[in-house]
Amino acid sequence: MKRGDVICPQCNAGFRRIELASRSGKPGEFRCPLCDQVLEVFDGSTEIAYRITVAPEKLFE
């Protein structure tokens, strides 16, 4: 299992990224649910999950 953090370059939302090499996933892409920016395109060779950890500052204005 690999863990890491991803920051959306458009709205600065933060996400925790977890990749499981022991499971295959589905090909596709992950878009920021807040601004629709593409953050990653994946081929389905591993299972990848994202969870928002830091909301962008503009949500608090």
Indicate the residue type of 15: F
Indicate the residue type of 59: L
pLDDT in tens, 23-48: 999 999 999 999 999 999 999 999 99
Give the integer Cα–Cα distance in Å for 21 and 38: 22
Main-chain phi, psi angles of 60, to 5 degrees: -95, -5
SS3 26: coil
Nearest to 59, CA basis, from 33, 37, 38, 31: 33
Domain-by-domain residue ranges, the chain?
Answer: 2-55
User: Quick one: tokens of 9?
Assistant: 């370059």
The overall pTM is greater than 0.75:
yes
